Structure 1
Amino acid sequence: MSDEFKNKLEAYENGELQGEELAEFERELEKLEQYQEHLDERKSPPTIPINEKKQIKILKRSKWKARFQTALTALGIFILVMIVSSILSAVYYSWGEPDRADVIAKVIDYTLTVTEPYGDSGGTSTNVKPFFRVEMERDLRKRVGHETMKVGELKVNFLFSLMSFPERNYIGNVSQNQPIFTYPGFESGMSEWDRLEKLPEGTVVSAYVSFNKMESTDEVFHLLGEKDLDISWFAVDTGDNDEESSMDGGVIFDPIGFPSTPIWHEDDMELDSREEKKGFLFGKIIMEGHSSPSYQEGDSEMLHKQFLKTLRFLEKNEKMANKLYQGRKLDLENKLHYLEKNGIKHYGVVVTGPTKEILKLKNEKEISTIEVDEVGFWNWEK
């Protein structure tokens, strides 16, 4: 750019050019602008106009791409939250010694053992879920003769340590879901000796047998132990079924008791073997084998000791146990006080065996009534 042009441009900007000189300079500027536009067009690639359909297609594709990316992000966050919550749930339920999940499972096992005539102290499975939930499941079984059959399922859900109401689902032909015993001194008029007489030989039954008076555990073994039948469960007098407090005319629908074998606890187990192996890096793997203490059939002292120990364990977890007890109150503090003061006595037992053998109990003066529960085909092996 020459000095002369610079001077004219400065004078033009300051408004100092007049007349023909001004018109000539403006024509020169216009030529320069056209020249510059020509240079810009040669440097830039030509633009191709996009029709309306293509524009809409591009916009839709962009929207779906954005939605897909958002969905992937949300899915990734959800999976991450699930993984983290599952880990935290597992940590929560495995915390402690014994851990929370084991305590919950034991509450379920022991409650069923002492409140249901066919309950046993094992079999609850644990399924830990995300968001601090755990599901407990177990089979409900009955023993008829020498066969144990599944009659239903129990499912209990927990949020943290808060227990939902237990869900019981029965299957098959369950003739009597609820046990019936007659308290001594009452006449229920519900005895089913006639039903036993009509059942054919070659069948086995399970039945609720009631006594005319309170019997000790040793007396029950003496009365029934030599007969060709099995005692499955002992109903225990807990002091709240006497004539004054009974609300069902002497008929007991919600008994408390224990099975004919001891209710073992984890701290009862005896160490049989122990083996240590080298683990990863500086760790080690310990393998131990345990077994229950020896028990001789008819050892009432051992049965009583383990029964009371179980009630004391449930007393510490009574809120959960009450829900498993069909929502009724176990009131274990008073029951334990009564049992420790008065000893353990029985108003009835659950027995199983050949139909005709159990029918012979009608001749025993100690026995008042019988309620037949389940009948099965012959499966009795001496």
Structure 2
Amino acid sequence: MSDEKNHVPNEMDDYQNYLKESMNGINDFHPYTEEGQKEIVNLGKNMARKTNIMVSLAILLLIVPIMTLATYMYYGIGGRADHLIDVVTKTIYVTEPNMSLEKLKVEDDIGLFSMNIKFDVLKKIGKEDYKIGNYDIDFLLDQPSFPKKNLLLDRPLAENPTKETEVMVHPKASIPFSTTDGWDILKKLPDGTVSEVYISLNHLMKPDDLKESLPKNMELRWFAVDTGMEITQEDKEGVPITPLGYPAQYDHTTWSPFKTNGESNEEVFLDILSLLEKNESVAEKVARAKSLSMSSRLAYIKEHGIKVYGAVITGPTEEIRKLQDMKEIRALKVGEVKLWNWE
């Protein structure tokens, strides 16, 4: 019995020693150093960062095509791109004297929620149409930026017109330039040239009456129409307005709105003004003056009819000089001059 009592404590001691050794082993077990542990944490962070980047790129690669497709649909559905181009090109015809363009050659490029259009502009001087520059217009959805223009003209019209820079003046408005300078320039030009001139009338005239009164061997190119605001050349808020007018001749090119198609140029002109009235924010960005006051000016024309206060004429310089003998002409400004091309 005494042997059994002496044997138990020895087994307990061995068990306790075993536990101590096991605990010490656990406490002493360090599979990674402190630097190794930091490296594992950093590796995890980098992997998470790369995963986030890859997920973001995947989302972007998915979104960009969808947004691009949405842009094409925006401009394509209902012909919105063609409509905006139509507004821009027709604004040129009725706000820029003796200026035209080739609508079929308008270049358009659709980007992300944007569209860019580029086109050349022309002037007819003598018998030929000359490229005089180009327009570059950016659209954000349906809102255009101000055009970037590159015009190659000897006598360009003022980019921001005012009463002091007008080249065609209403009969009741004061003339802001010398009335003799234009005639003096014509006298000094050689006979073997063709000229473009802007004339101001002594009184309002009907377009056909002006056509009939002009000497032969020259071409009437553009009418400046009285819209009720040309005396002050400003709108009701005092903002300068741009002249409104239309080509005097039928245009036989397929892209022109003034081609022979059963409508007179006067009717086409009124149709264009109605279009611009509905899209005035676009037209005002394209036109040189930043106010068109289209509603009131269109209403005035419909009430009083089309009467003109000025015009653009081209022809042989020696023939253009004969305009000085016309009592209907109050003043003249010389525009572009080219070498002989009349025959």
- Find the counterpart in structure 2 of residue 219 from structure 1: 209
Cα 1:305–1:173, aligned 2, differ >3 Å: closer, same or farther? closer
- Find the counterpart in structure 1 of residue 124 from structure 2: 143
- Which deviations, in whole Å up to 9, do the C-alpha atoms of 1:194-231 show, x marking residues without a partner? 0121223333332212222222221232234731x333
Matches within 5 A, 1:227-376: 227=217, 229-242=218-231, 245=232, 254-261=242-249, 293-294=260-261, 302-326=264-288, 328-376=290-338
* Alpha-carbon distance between aligned partners in 1 of 2:250 and 2:190, rounded to the nearest angstrom: 34
Structure 1 position 114, deviation (Å): 0.9
Structure 1 position 337, deviation (Å): 2.7
- Find the counterpart in structure 1 of residue 56 from structure 2: 74
* Alpha-carbon distance between aligned partners in 2 of 1:205 and 1:255, rounded to the nearest angstrom: 21
Where does the alignment leave 5 or more consecutive residues of structure 2 unmatched?
Answer: 23-28, 159-165
* Alpha-carbon distance between aligned partners in 2 of 1:154 and 1:140, rounded to the nearest angstrom: 11
* Alpha-carbon distance between aligned partners in 2 of 1:372 and 1:253, rounded to the nearest angstrom: 22
Question: Does 1:380 find its partner at 2:341?
Answer: yes
* Alpha-carbon distance between aligned partners in 1 of 2:335 and 2:15, rounded to the nearest angstrom: 115
Q: Which piece of structure 1 moves more, 132-141 or 357-366?
A: 132-141
- Which deviations, in whole Å up to 9, do the C-alpha atoms of 1:248-277 show, x marking residues without a partner? 9xxx9721101134589x9x99xxxxxxxx
Question: Does 1:113 find its partner at 2:89?
Answer: no
Aligned to 1:348, what secondary structure does the other structure show? strand
Aligned CA RMSD, in angstroms, stands at: 4.0
Structure 1 position 138, deviation (Å): 3.3
Cα 1:31–1:118, aligned 2, differ >3 Å: closer, same or farther? same
Structure 1 position 67, deviation (Å): 4.0
Q: Which amino acid aligns with 2:280?
A: E
Q: Specify which of 87, 109, 114 is matched with residue 133 of structure 1.
A: 114
- Which deviations, in whole Å up to 9, do the C-alpha atoms of 1:323-366 show, x marking residues without a partner? 33346432333323322232211111112233233222222232
Q: Specify which of 186, 194, 214 is matched with residue 196 of structure 1.
A: 186
Q: Which amino acid aligns with 1:375?
A: V
CA contact (8 A) 1:183 1:210 kept: yes
Cα 1:321–1:54, aligned 2, differ >3 Å: closer, same or farther? same
Structure 1 position 32, deviation (Å): 9.1
CA contact (8 A) 1:184 1:211 kept: yes
Q: Which piece of structure 1 moves more, 147-156 or 117-126?
A: 117-126
Q: Which amino acid aligns with 1:238?
A: T
- Find the counterpart in structure 1 of residue 26 from structure 2: none
Q: Which piece of structure 1 moves more, 303-312 or 136-145?
A: 136-145
Cα 1:200–1:353, aligned 2, differ >3 Å: closer, same or farther? same
Q: Specify which of 151, 168, 171 is matched with residue 181 of structure 1.
A: 168
* Alpha-carbon distance between aligned partners in 2 of 1:110 and 1:133, rounded to the nearest angstrom: 21
Q: Which amino acid aligns with 1:120?
A: S
Structure 1 position 68, deviation (Å): 4.0
* Alpha-carbon distance between aligned partners in 1 of 2:301 and 2:82, rounded to the nearest angstrom: 28
Question: Does 1:22 find its partner at 2:8?
Answer: yes
Cα 1:200–1:381, aligned 2, differ >3 Å: closer, same or farther? closer
Where does the alignment leave 5 or more consecutive residues of structure 1 unmatched?
Answer: 1-17, 37-46, 270-291, 296-300
Q: Which amino acid aligns with 1:181?
A: M
Q: Specify which of 72, 78, 94 is matched with residue 76 of structure 2.
A: 94
Identity of aligned residues (%): 28
TM-score with structure 2 length normalisation?
0.74
* Alpha-carbon distance between aligned partners in 2 of 1:325 and 1:89, rounded to the nearest angstrom: 26
Q: Specify which of 125, 135, 152 is matched with residue 153 of structure 1.
A: 135
Cα 1:55–1:116, aligned 2, differ >3 Å: closer, same or farther? same
* Alpha-carbon distance between aligned partners in 2 of 1:63 and 1:32, rounded to the nearest angstrom: 41
CA contact (8 A) 1:216 1:345 kept: yes
Q: Which amino acid aligns with 2:111?
A: K
Aligned to 2:133, what secondary structure does the other structure show? strand
* Alpha-carbon distance between aligned partners in 2 of 1:303 and 1:158, rounded to the nearest angstrom: 33
Cα 1:247–1:80, aligned 2, differ >3 Å: closer, same or farther? closer
* Alpha-carbon distance between aligned partners in 2 of 1:338 and 1:92, rounded to the nearest angstrom: 36
Structure 1 position 308, deviation (Å): 1.0
TM-score with structure 1 length normalisation?
0.68
Structure 1 position 187, deviation (Å): 5.7
